[in-house]
Amino acid sequence: MNEVNLTELGIKDSRDLLKRKQISATELTKAYIQNIEESSKLNAFIEKTFDKALIQASQADKIIGTESEKSLCGIPVGIKDLFCCKGVKTQAASDILDNFVPPYESTVTQKLWNEQAIMLGKLNMDEFAMGSSNETSTYGPAINPWRSSNCNDFLTPGGSSGGSSAAVAANLCAGATGTDTGGSIRQPAAFTGTVGLKPTYGRCSRWGIIAFASSFDQAGPITKNVTDNAIMLKAMSGFDPLDSTSAKIEVPDYEKELGKDIKGLRVGIAKEYSLQKGDSAAKKKLEQTILLLKNMGVELVDVSLPHTEFALPTYYVLAPAEASSNLARYDGVRYGHRAKLDTNDSILELYEKTRSEGFGTEVKRRILIGTYVLSSGYYDAYYKRAQKVRNLIKNDFDKVFKKVDLILTPTTPTAAFPLGSKGTQDPVEMYMNDIFTVPANLAGIPALSLPVGLDESGLPLGIQLIGDYWQEPLLLNTAFNLENALAFENRPKNWWA
């Protein structure tokens, strides 16, 4: 099969060729390994597991065509560094987990290996998933394979799952895992022309995923297209006795849902998700999408989510509060970094010096603000109040989903921005990136980002579909219909190899 570039295929097309024995898993894995070796400029892979990958590939080649073959047999994937993988260095892109090698495997990655996927390595991310540009990673940022036609600045691949989005867009893996606490799957997908889905809270087990904000964190796939996303989501989902917040709800065959007619579907346009004057490209793409949906017989309905303006402030109280509690475990005692101590230093100095040296600036900032909003005297004014506002935001969605099936919004106001251009003076400037993605995390509902085209400087833009609880099949099928109508086939030009 020399006529096709194997690494452009993605999950479904590779699976189909593997099944027909037109390619081998070893051949496919070697093609990805070569791409990864040639892509060091993108800084997407931070830990490579090629030996393991080639062993898995050779096993897959023996299984393909037999009764033992599973849904991802022979498909090479990349794993965000937030997922613990047994025997593979896992640091959440933080110095505090220096050289940590987990003695156990996360449930989601175990499910992928059970489906016979192949592990290429760990992907770059913002430290502890706290960031929107990949710049808080201890490894330095992953670089967006897309470049503006106007300048050669390195652009962010988004955050926090920026290594995942960059790797999928640059053909370094067939699909990648991401996690999404406030937009960390969808914003990177929008910035790289890929498809990213944050499932309903509880769809995927959080066990073995390094915790950031436990009531928001959800794992999900980043892929080249909607079909690949459906296949990978099915493999990642399901109840897990080790995570009591994972839901005992049957996992549908998402791929089978694709291609159904969406005539008569009701899609809401929320007036609160409006774009500014400067965001004309995103506005144009949204309008084009609305037109396409109308042509498919979809009914567009104006809706209102009145508490949207409070979503970001609510998130930036609750997520840091949960983070300050989750990250209390990093004390330098059992694993990771331990500060060098002076002779008379006590255990308190061990904690304080280790945490001061091991955490990066943004992570420290969030631990500090989280500690503040939970501290005596401020708890009611910030934390408790934010929990109530979170309920109001959820109620807004509940009411709207009585009228419509889905909500359509832009994923981000603009395309990818240059590294180093945001949040250097004021951290809040970077937080504003999550303005359209955070509400779905607050309510715990699923949302998907789909590439819709390029802006005037040739950079991809995404639109977001938000659904009610457990409506992933409807999200994926609507995205599938739109994907066919949009025929977005642009890929970044390879400047990095």
Partner 1 sequence: MEIDTETTLKIARLSRIKITDAESDDIQKDLNRIVEFVKKLGEIDISGVSEFNFGETYLKDMREDSIIINDNTDDVLKNTKNKNQDFFTVPKIVE
427-456 positions binding partner 1, by CB under 8 A = 427-428, 431, 442, 444
- Of 98-106, 115-123, 128-136, 297-305, which part binds partner 1 (CB under 8 A)? 98-106
Give min distance, CB of 206 to partner 1, in A: 12
Binding mask 394-433 for partner 1 (x = CB under 8 A): x-------------------------------xxx--x--
Choose the catalytic residue: 106, 160, 237, 449: 160
* Stretch 323-362 residues interacting with partner 1 (CB under 8 A): 324, 328, 331, 333-336, 338, 341, 345-353, 355-356, 359
Among 78, 145, 183, 202, binds partner 1 (CB under 8 A): 202
Closest CA to 490 of 464, 461, 448: 461
Integer angstrom CA distances of residue 172 from 5, 109, 149, 154: 12, 18, 23, 18
Closest CA to 492 of 230, 154, 196: 154
Q: Quick check: is 160 catalytic?
A: yes
Q: Where are the alpha helices (DSSP H) in 375-402?
A: 385-400
Integer angstrom CA distances of residue 313 from 182, 211, 432: 12, 21, 10
Helix%, strand%, coil% for the chain, nearest 5: 40, 15, 45
Say whether residue 16 binds partner 1 (CB under 8 A): no
Cα–Cα distance measured from residue 99 to residue 229, given in angstroms and rounded to the nearest whole number? 31
* Stretch 226-265 residues interacting with partner 1 (CB under 8 A): 239, 241-242, 244-245, 247-249
Give min distance, CB of 428 to partner 1, in A: 5
Q: Quick check: is 304 catalytic?
A: no
Which run of H or of E encompasses 190? helix 186-192
* Stretch 457-476 residues interacting with partner 1 (CB under 8 A): 469
Choose the catalytic residue: 80, 111, 224, 234: 80
Q: Quick check: is 89 catalytic?
A: no
Say whether residue 314 binds partner 1 (CB under 8 A): yes
Closest CA to 97 of 78, 121, 81, 80: 81
Q: Are strands 218-223 and 195-198 parallel, antiparallel or unpaired?
A: antiparallel
Binding footprint of partner 1, residue count (CB under 8 A):
73
Among 34, 375, 457, 484, binds partner 1 (CB under 8 A): 375
The sheet carrying 218-223 orders its strands as 45-48, 118-123, 76-80, 175-180, 218-223, 195-198, 447-454, 460-467, 406-410, 266-270, 299-303
Q: Which is nearer to partner 1, 247 or 400 (CB)?
A: 247
The residues that are catalytic are: 80, 160, 184
